A and B are shown apart, each in its own frame.
Chain A
């Protein structure tokens, strides 16, 4: 990002000591302010109107403040501990951490957090006057911490990943971290108040930024690389546990299930866009094709096809129908590429939608009842397991959406497996080669056309599977659900999250579906914000939130420091693949 440098290195050299003091003091001030009332009225966020009794959000703020103080103070604690010979081994680890970088990140994050909280209070209660003195003290603390942290010299780069740690510690850390993530997610999702939800997001953002900049991210990712199976397994285990944190309420599960369906489709799109580099602007049609296929073969009284095979078969057929469509849409890639291909796919998406609403008996065969679609699709019943019923496991009732959530989780696992296997195979490298330079790839003997078709068909197949489940989750399928905007949303999930990575797309999909659900007060403005976000993202971070490292290189080839950093890492990644 090209943030203009107001704080020059010279300034930092001169003022780093007062800066450190300011950061320390700011953090402590903030922690102390949690005891003061922030808001005039208890209705804002989670009731911050008390003197001497911090609310959860205030407590989280205080935690960040203390963290800032500790992190800023480490520069003095370290030499002092060294002199006294205290805990030499811990000190060695600490020396590898980028405390100053972490302080800087936290300074920004903390200011952001306080800003979000205060703005939310002002919005919810109506005006800045509703912020009590404690809120201003907190802001002063955050500002002090921010300015102070800016004045610090960047200091050493973290190298925590080179610390040798026992395997059990790494595995436990991964598990604990994921568990914390689960609890945080469950807590955030149970907030019905948009401001609280957003504040927690800001808190998580600040914390994650701090952890990454301190260097723990490097250590964690190194640990994750070493114990990849543990990581994958515990991720799914945590997701599997999620419905159990909901106390039988289906409200969040409904959203979570839709996030998974959306994410599964987005991962499919990621094969086409992220790996093979083919822009598809009509991808929602594949999800639609799967949903319509499943709907016409369902037990619904409105279904038009008499043949009602078991759901497993329906799902495969739905996938195959989508894959066939994918082949058809992919076939012009023989002659069309780049922007033109994007337009062809957009046109296909529109043709699909219009055709579906025309198949109503008056403008075409009555296959899907046109724009009214196929309603009253019954719940699934697989091997005697009724998805519509509430099942009680370990005393916790799991509702209808939890059941579908588990099903989608299984499908998601399959999709992620397919995606990563493909990505790390000959085929995946072929796609990347096509993406980088089609002509060179062809000269090297890569079957360009075949691989492109495979990308389209494979991605579409996955979307078709998700669509088949979606038909039963929504219980009704109409053409209006598959408009161009949905394709744009899918693409945005891929782009915002990070092209070519599974984690990024999951994150992007979750944010895109969750934020509008939770932030109903910005609902009117959500499309506006979304459009702006797409523009800003392309301008400042085109590689996405969790980028594929190869892609970062592509977007920032002029940033030499970054290139070096990544190239250092790359051989490792490649070594994993073979």
Chain B
């Protein structure tokens, strides 16, 4: 029994990571109906931003791994991620706002490749920074990492607590932001009807930038969590994570923030369970990604609005 609880927990913590990234896909899609395929790279950039902050700090602190590094790393990661996302929106996506369907998607793939390569080639060129052509060890902060904690017989990794708590806090914050602030309500309005919102005096361009920024900051949180949890980061970490997170967003119902959270957790649990519950040759870790993608296809075909329902725009 403990074994299955262990696996459930693995799934939930992996799912929390997916959910944090998935929110970025969903918020942007809800407002501009754009699949920001490069969002996975924002997650990667967030992780590198956090690492860079720690490296810069370590020049002063001499490489301290005390817990108080965490908020600083978080802020650093967020700034870099948000900046990248906003620049990306401004220079690559905005000019294509009214372009035919294929253009933004192909642009997104281009950005994705560009960002990966950019980090790979130039991160190590900055004096004092490690070479990013292979995986880089991530600082292991005290309190947030270290030996697992025993919770009633379950071995829970401290990173798991961090990522799940982060998801919970972000979710609550997001709920407050979307429902209780003027900007949040403007976001809702734009996602309902951009033209009317414009007439009502809402600066649609600004709202779109805000959507990208919100998604990017959550991705940065995920990037930091991933670094702490797995102990290393690399330039291509964003591709698979982004793909899975997109799957999660669609699973929950794209455009729906709660859907992204539910979808992320579901996908994580499905992956963890697929490694153990599916018997025979076609089960096990080798096939878990196949099952995740099969789930994605089935959802898209039979319930394109996702688990919680979403605004599906026919953009064919």
Provide the residues of chain B in CB contact with A524, threshold 8 Å. Answer: 121
Chain B residues touching A, majority SS? helix
B106-132 with Cβ < 8 A to chain A: 106-107, 109-118, 121
Question: B281 to A364, Cβ gap below 8 A?
Answer: yes
Provide the residues of chain B in CB contact with A542, threshold 8 Å. Answer: 99-100, 103
A474 to B281, CA, bound (A): 30
Question: B300 to A535, Cβ gap below 8 A?
Answer: no
Question: A350 to B286, Cβ gap below 8 A?
Answer: no
- Smallest distance from the beta carbon of A171 to chain B beta carbons, Å? 38
Closest to B246 in A: A343
Picked from A340, A528, A538, the residue with its CB within 8 Å of the CB of B99 is: A538
- Smallest distance from the beta carbon of B260 to chain A beta carbons, Å? 15
Question: B113 to A338, Cβ gap below 8 A?
Answer: no
A522-578 with Cβ < 8 A to chain B: 524-525, 527-528, 530-535, 538-539, 542, 554-555
Q: Mark B81-123, 1 if CB is under 8 A from A, else 0.
A: 0000000000010011001111111110111111111100100
Closest to B288 in A: A354
Question: B297 to A347, Cβ gap below 8 A?
Answer: yes
Provide the residues of chain B in CB contact with A281, threshold 8 Å. Answer: 109
Closest to A339 in B: B35
- Smallest distance from the beta carbon of A84 to chain B beta carbons, Å? 52
Provide the residues of chain A in CB contact with B294, threshold 8 Å. Answer: 347, 351
Closest to A524 in B: B121
Question: A539 to B114, Cβ gap below 8 A?
Answer: no
Residue of A339, A525, A528 with most chain B CB atoms under a 10 A cut-off: A339
Question: B105 to A344, Cβ gap below 8 A?
Answer: no
Q: Does B301 contact A (CB under 8 A)?
A: yes
> Given A346-B243, A534-B109, A555–B290 Cβ distance below 8 Å?
no
Question: A364 to B282, Cβ gap below 8 A?
Answer: yes
Q: Does A56 contact B (CB under 8 A)?
A: no
B247-268 with Cβ < 8 A to chain A: 247, 250
Question: B114 to A528, Cβ gap below 8 A?
Answer: yes
Q: Mark A329-367, 1 if CB is under 8 A from B, else 0.
A: 000100111111111101110110011001000011100
Picked from B118, B289, B314, the residue with its CB within 8 Å of the CB of A350 is: B289
Question: A347 to B114, Cβ gap below 8 A?
Answer: no
B141-182 with Cβ < 8 A to chain A: none
Question: A534 to B106, Cβ gap below 8 A?
Answer: yes
Q: Mark B24-42, 1 if CB is under 8 A from A, else 0.
A: 0000000000010000000
Question: A528 to B316, Cβ gap below 8 A?
Answer: no
Question: B110 to A351, Cβ gap below 8 A?
Answer: no
> Given A351-B294, A488-B109, A538-B103, A338–B300 Cβ distance below 8 Å?
no
Question: A339 to B113, Cβ gap below 8 A?
Answer: no
Provide the residues of chain B in CB contact with A554, threshold 8 Å. Answer: 100
Provide the residues of chain A in CB contact with B302, threshold 8 Å. Answer: 335
Question: A531 to B112, Cβ gap below 8 A?
Answer: yes
A528 to B300, CA, bound (A): 32
A346-402 with Cβ < 8 A to chain B: 346-348, 350-351, 354-355, 358, 363-365
Question: B102 to A344, Cβ gap below 8 A?
Answer: no
Question: A538 to B107, Cβ gap below 8 A?
Answer: yes
Picked from A364, A438, A484, A538, the residue with its CB within 8 Å of the CB of B110 is: A538
Q: Does A495 contact B (CB under 8 A)?
A: yes
A200 to B100, CA, bound (A): 35
Closest to A528 in B: B117
- Smallest distance from the beta carbon of B94 to chain A beta carbons, Å? 10
Question: A335 to B304, Cβ gap below 8 A?
Answer: yes
A485 to B107, CA, bound (A): 14
Picked from B247, B297, B314, the residue with its CB within 8 Å of the CB of A348 is: B297
A29 to B232, CA, bound (A): 58
Q: Does A491 contact B (CB under 8 A)?
A: yes
Closest to A555 in B: B100
- Smallest distance from the beta carbon of B38 to chain A beta carbons, Å? 10
Provide the residues of chain B in CB contact with A492, threshold 8 Å. Answer: 106
Q: Does A279 contact B (CB under 8 A)?
A: yes
- Smallest distance from the beta carbon of A278 to chain B beta carbons, Å? 8
Question: B286 to A531, Cβ gap below 8 A?
Answer: no
Question: A495 to B290, Cβ gap below 8 A?
Answer: no
A365 to B104, CA, bound (A): 40
- Smallest distance from the beta carbon of B284 to chain A beta carbons, Å? 7
A417 to B116, CA, bound (A): 39
- Smallest distance from the beta carbon of A481 to chain B beta carbons, Å? 18
Provide the residues of chain A in CB contact with B107, threshold 8 Å. Answer: 534-535, 538-539
Question: A538 to B106, Cβ gap below 8 A?
Answer: yes
Q: Does B293 contact A (CB under 8 A)?
A: yes
A438 to B297, CA, bound (A): 22
Provide the residues of chain A in CB contact with B121, threshold 8 Å. Answer: 524-525, 528
- Smallest distance from the beta carbon of A508 to chain B beta carbons, Å? 13
Provide the residues of chain B in CB contact with A355, threshold 8 Å. Answer: 290
Question: A343 to B35, Cβ gap below 8 A?
Answer: yes
> Given A339-B105, A346-B243, A539–B95 Cβ distance below 8 Å?
yes
Q: Does B4 contact A (CB under 8 A)?
A: no
A346 to B107, CA, bound (A): 16
A524 to B99, CA, bound (A): 32
- Smallest distance from the beta carbon of B203 to chain A beta carbons, Å? 23
Provide the residues of chain A in CB contact with B289, threshold 8 Å. Answer: 350, 354
Provide the residues of chain A in CB contact with B67, threshold 8 Å. Answer: none
Q: Does B50 contact A (CB under 8 A)?
A: no
Question: B297 to A538, Cβ gap below 8 A?
Answer: no
Q: Mark B296-316, 1 if CB is under 8 A from A, else 0.
A: 110011101000000000111
- Smallest distance from the beta carbon of B103 to chain A beta carbons, Å? 5
Picked from A279, A354, A530, A538, the residue with its CB within 8 Å of the CB of B96 is: A538
A271-322 with Cβ < 8 A to chain B: 273, 277, 279, 281
A277 to B289, CA, bound (A): 28
Question: A332 to B300, Cβ gap below 8 A?
Answer: yes
Question: A534 to B300, Cβ gap below 8 A?
Answer: no
Question: B300 to A363, Cβ gap below 8 A?
Answer: no
- Smallest distance from the beta carbon of B124 to chain A beta carbons, Å? 12
A342 to B108, CA, bound (A): 13
Closest to B292 in A: A347
- Smallest distance from the beta carbon of A259 to chain B beta carbons, Å? 21
- Smallest distance from the beta carbon of B27 to chain A beta carbons, Å? 16
Closest to B118 in A: A528
Question: A535 to B92, Cβ gap below 8 A?
Answer: yes
Provide the residues of chain B in CB contact with A532, threshold 8 Å. Answer: 110, 114
- Smallest distance from the beta carbon of B118 to chain A beta carbons, Å? 6
Picked from A332, A485, A530, A535, the residue with its CB within 8 Å of the CB of B301 is: A332
Q: Does B287 contact A (CB under 8 A)?
A: yes
Provide the residues of chain B in CB contact with A533, threshold 8 Å. Answer: 110
A350 to B292, CA, bound (A): 11
- Smallest distance from the beta carbon of A545 to chain B beta carbons, Å? 15
- Smallest distance from the beta carbon of B183 to chain A beta carbons, Å? 26
Can you list 27 A-B contacts (CB < 8 A)? A277-B316, A279-B101, A335-B302, A335-B304, A337-B315, A337-B316, A340-B300, A343-B246, A343-B296, A344-B300, A348-B293, A350-B243, A355-B290, A484-B239, A491-B106, A491-B109, A524-B121, A525-B117, A525-B121, A528-B117, A528-B118, A532-B114, A535-B111, A538-B96, A538-B99, A538-B103, A538-B110
Q: Lowest 5 CB-CB distances: which A-B pairs, in order?
A: A534-B110, A531-B114, A531-B113, A337-B316, A528-B117
Q: Which residues of B contact A (CB under 8 A)?
A: 35, 92, 95-96, 99-107, 109-118, 121, 239, 243, 246-247, 250, 281-282, 284, 286-287, 289-290, 293-294, 296-297, 300-302, 304, 314-316
Given contacts A342-B35, A525-B117, 9 further A-B contacts (CB under 8 A): A358-B287, A363-B282, A525-B121, A532-B110, A534-B109, A535-B92, A535-B107, A538-B96, A554-B100
Q: Which residues of A contact B (CB under 8 A)?
A: 273, 277, 279, 281, 332, 335-344, 346-348, 350-351, 354-355, 358, 363-365, 438, 484-485, 488, 491-492, 495, 524-525, 527-528, 530-535, 538-539, 542, 554-555
